[in-house]
A and B are shown apart, each in its own frame.
Chain A
């Protein structure tokens, strides 16, 4: 199998879907031929598909998503890029009140097949307005689907599913994942929504992790193995729909659950997964559920401060050892 980066995997998904369906088009700030996207995901696509279909926009997040909504309900399949996840706050009405509800409140008349792609995550010292992980906001809005790919394989397969689907998809990327390499098949494939992936099999403890935290969890699992602790790492891959069954059955098998996410702990993604285990697998748990998540602070700038608030391998190992 060939190896490509997460960034290239996303680009391949966009390219293949744009070739397959003339209704797919991209819009966002600086995604076109002059810049290729702030994280270069769309680099080279304007050259192939033209400026009409790889559309540079004004700095108008609300209008970017609103325009995508209007295009989606009239037959197009727009993929909007919001340069940083933090800036989705500017487009929140269009995402949460319009895109998510337009089908429901019009009694199923509308189909709103749009994708909003955006990078979350800390780790590159760009502080409070460019580093947050806000996935939980979007999980809380019925009508949206939320994808959280952690590998190049998942990124490509999930993005293709997102573009082909008839629902609005909030597609979370992580800026530290873009250069990560992974194996990708030559043949076309898609990754269905609502299907978790067991990234590592184990028997002593279940670690559910998302996005960049999947890699930290896998590192931690490798270190714990040498101490005789067998960790199963589960990546939900989509938060909505959430593969509740896979998570619950792993917890039933290991009897222990640690959840590792980069969003703030309070009312975060980890809270929802913990509640799931409490509701559906309490009798199987041999220890309290542990959550490893970001501190309830804005993301600070200075490297030692930033590193302090973001979960690391050490914190994961500590949490695992507390429950086994």
Chain B
């Protein structure tokens, strides 16, 4: 420890084999981050968790129309990646996108208002839970077609390059999306054109109810990077610092003009696929094992253990975040629904 800096060890794996025999080398990395940065990561993850818990609660009160896909359990991925991005960098997101919005810096109250279908929401009630965007912070929106965001991220990367900016694009998608043609088209194109895109695969093991092992004969989505001549990293997606560090190298690579990276984050959703899904297809032991690896609890323990954060500071952050989420809920509930005829607006520019 150096003053207000903390030193923390993390682990990731890098592909060292070849196409016929992919092998992964585990490697240890040591991180030095300021305590401020460390607590910022903690705060952001808590924002997502408490926000999602509140969404779940509001859904139970019939205040959320439609369905919800909660990000709880996967917080370390969005936060670890987005904490390496600037405000003018871009992200693309998925149907499970609340966490991405929050991590990229969108306002909780306007996300919540959108989820409740209110006029004050980011999309004026036109998008809902599965289609939130905040172009002011580079959040280019969530698409609910699995795999559809990948080519859009490639286009944003091409645009950044053609406009001669040094912006990068982080593209979030699940392991399920990696079986869509768009995944392969996009990785190939981004690689061929050396575009500044970080493909972030959130591997939560299940494409809806279908376990990865039933539909893919490889364990690591990241191994597919080899087919496109780009680096493919596997990282513990429930370790925010590991994600942060791997994403940092991928962002640096993209920003320096060296091209895309595929980062696979192994993670797990705490709830079912959507609100109606109790997730019975997941073995109890598996769920318990992953709940024990809760990214927030783990990170908090690490921060306390290394004295980067005190227990009192942790509780203070938690209380502040809870109050912030409560504010967002109040704002959303108080907000008006759009007038019905607003359905006709915004079809064309």
On whether A166 and B156 interact (CB within 8 A), knowing A66-B148, A107-B127, A109-B133, the answer reads no
Q: Is the pair A70, B349 in contact by a Cβ cutoff of 8 Å?
A: no
Q: List 12 A-B contacts (CB under 8 A).
A: A63-B189, A66-B150, A67-B155, A69-B155, A72-B155, A75-B159, A94-B152, A108-B345, A108-B346, A109-B134, A110-B135, A110-B140
Q: Is the pair B159, A107 in contact by a Cβ cutoff of 8 Å?
A: no
Whether B90 sits at the interface, judged by CB under 8 Å, is yes
Question: Which stretch from B26-34, B178-186, B300-308 is at the chain A interface?
Answer: B178-186
What are the residues of chain B within 8 A of A69 when measuring CB–CB?
151-152, 155
Q: Mark B135-175, 1 if CB is under 8 A from A, else 0.
A: 10000110101001011111111111011000001000000
Whether B126 sits at the interface, judged by CB under 8 Å, is yes
Distance in angstroms between the alpha carbons of A239 and B23 in the assembled complex = 55
Whether A65 sits at the interface, judged by CB under 8 Å, is yes
Task: Determine how close the nearest CB of chain A comes to the CB of B328; give it in whole angstroms.
Answer: 18
Top 4 closest A-B pairs, CB basis? A70-B155, A66-B151, A107-B123, A63-B185
Distance in angstroms between the alpha carbons of A93 and B148 in the assembled complex = 8
| Contact of A93 (CB < 8 Å), options: B123, B125, B126, B145 | B145
Whether B99 sits at the interface, judged by CB under 8 Å, is no
New A-B contacts (8) at CB < 8 Å, excluding given A97-B148, A109-B141: A76-B159, A76-B162, A103-B349, A106-B141, A107-B125, A109-B133, A111-B349, A142-B347
Whether B259 sits at the interface, judged by CB under 8 Å, is no
Q: Is the pair A98, B346 in contact by a Cβ cutoff of 8 Å?
A: no
Distance in angstroms between the alpha carbons of A63 and B141 in the assembled complex = 17
What are the residues of chain A within 8 A of B186 when measuring CB–CB?
63, 66
Q: Is the pair B133, A60 in contact by a Cβ cutoff of 8 Å?
A: no
What are the residues of chain B within 8 A of A73 when measuring CB–CB?
135, 140, 152, 155-156
Whether A281 sits at the interface, judged by CB under 8 Å, is no
Interface size class of A (residues with CB under 8 A): 35 or more
Instruction: Label chain B's interface by main secondary structure.
Output: mixed
| Contact of B349 (CB < 8 Å), options: A67, A97, A107, A166 | A166
Distance in angstroms between the alpha carbons of A62 and B186 in the assembled complex = 9
Whether B188 sits at the interface, judged by CB under 8 Å, is yes
Task: Determine how close the nearest CB of chain A comes to the CB of B195; give it in whole angstroms.
Answer: 9
On whether A98 and B145 interact (CB within 8 A), knowing A106-B122, A106-B131, the answer reads yes
Q: How many residues of B contact A (CB 8 A)?
A: 45
| Contact of B189 (CB < 8 Å), options: A58, A97, A107 | A58
Distance in angstroms between the alpha carbons of A65 and B154 in the assembled complex = 11
Q: Is the pair B126, A66 in contact by a Cβ cutoff of 8 Å?
A: no
Distance in angstroms between the alpha carbons of A60 and B190 in the assembled complex = 12
Q: Is the pair B158, A67 in contact by a Cβ cutoff of 8 Å?
A: yes
Q: Is the pair B155, A106 in contact by a Cβ cutoff of 8 Å?
A: no
What are the residues of chain A within 8 A of B169 when measuring CB–CB?
70
What are the residues of chain B within 8 A of A110 when measuring CB–CB?
133, 135, 140-141
Task: Determine how close the nearest CB of chain B comes to the CB of A139; give it in whole angstroms.
Answer: 14
What are the residues of chain A within 8 A of B160 when measuring CB–CB?
74
What are the residues of chain B within 8 A of A145 when measuring CB–CB?
348
Whether A322 sits at the interface, judged by CB under 8 Å, is no
Q: Which of A96-117 contact B (CB under 8 A)?
A: 97-98, 102-113
Q: Is the pair A58, B143 in contact by a Cβ cutoff of 8 Å?
A: no
Distance in angstroms between the alpha carbons of A142 and B159 in the assembled complex = 26
Distance in angstroms between the alpha carbons of A282 and B141 in the assembled complex = 45
Distance in angstroms between the alpha carbons of A110 and B346 in the assembled complex = 10
Q: Is the pair A76, B348 in contact by a Cβ cutoff of 8 Å?
A: no
Whether A52 sits at the interface, judged by CB under 8 Å, is yes
Task: Determine how close the nearest CB of chain A comes to the CB of B112; give it in whole angstroms.
Answer: 15
Whether B124 sits at the interface, judged by CB under 8 Å, is yes
| Contact of A107 (CB < 8 Å), options: B90, B122, B153, B185 | B122
Which of B92, B143, B159 gathers most chain A CB within 10 Å?
B159
Task: Determine how close the nearest CB of chain A comes to the CB of B178; give it in whole angstroms.
Answer: 15
Whether B25 sits at the interface, judged by CB under 8 Å, is no
Distance in angstroms between the alpha carbons of A72 and B121 in the assembled complex = 24
Whether A203 sits at the interface, judged by CB under 8 Å, is no
Whether B227 sits at the interface, judged by CB under 8 Å, is no
What are the residues of chain A within 8 A of B346 when measuring CB–CB?
103-104, 107-108
Distance in angstroms between the alpha carbons of A58 and B182 in the assembled complex = 12
Task: Determine how close the nearest CB of chain A comes to the CB of B166; give it in whole angstroms.
Answer: 14
Distance in angstroms between the alpha carbons of A200 and B62 in the assembled complex = 61
Whether A71 sits at the interface, judged by CB under 8 Å, is yes
Q: Is the pair A57, B189 in contact by a Cβ cutoff of 8 Å?
A: yes
Q: Mark B192-222, 1 if CB is under 8 A from A, else 0.
A: 1000000000000000000000000000000
Task: Determine how close the nearest CB of chain A comes to the CB of B155; give it in whole angstroms.
Answer: 2
| Contact of B185 (CB < 8 Å), options: A62, A74, A113 | A62
Whether A68 sits at the interface, judged by CB under 8 Å, is yes
Which of A70, A94, A165 gathers most chain B CB within 10 Å?
A70
Q: Is the pair B155, A66 in contact by a Cβ cutoff of 8 Å?
A: yes
Q: Mark B73-89, 1 if CB is under 8 A from A, else 0.
A: 00000000000000000
What are the residues of chain A within 8 A of B150 when measuring CB–CB?
63, 66
Q: Is the pair B192, A167 in contact by a Cβ cutoff of 8 Å?
A: no
| Contact of A70 (CB < 8 Å), options: B124, B134, B151, B163 | B151
Whether A121 sits at the interface, judged by CB under 8 Å, is no
Q: Mark A219-250, 1 if CB is under 8 A from B, else 0.
A: 00000000000000000000000000000000
Distance in angstroms between the alpha carbons of A57 and B221 in the assembled complex = 25
Whether A178 sits at the interface, judged by CB under 8 Å, is no
Distance in angstroms between the alpha carbons of A53 and B164 in the assembled complex = 13
Task: Determine how close the nearest CB of chain A comes to the CB of B187; give it in whole angstroms.
Answer: 10
On whether A63 and B154 interact (CB within 8 A), knowing A70-B140, A76-B159, A167-B348, the answer reads yes
Distance in angstroms between the alpha carbons of A183 and B90 in the assembled complex = 46
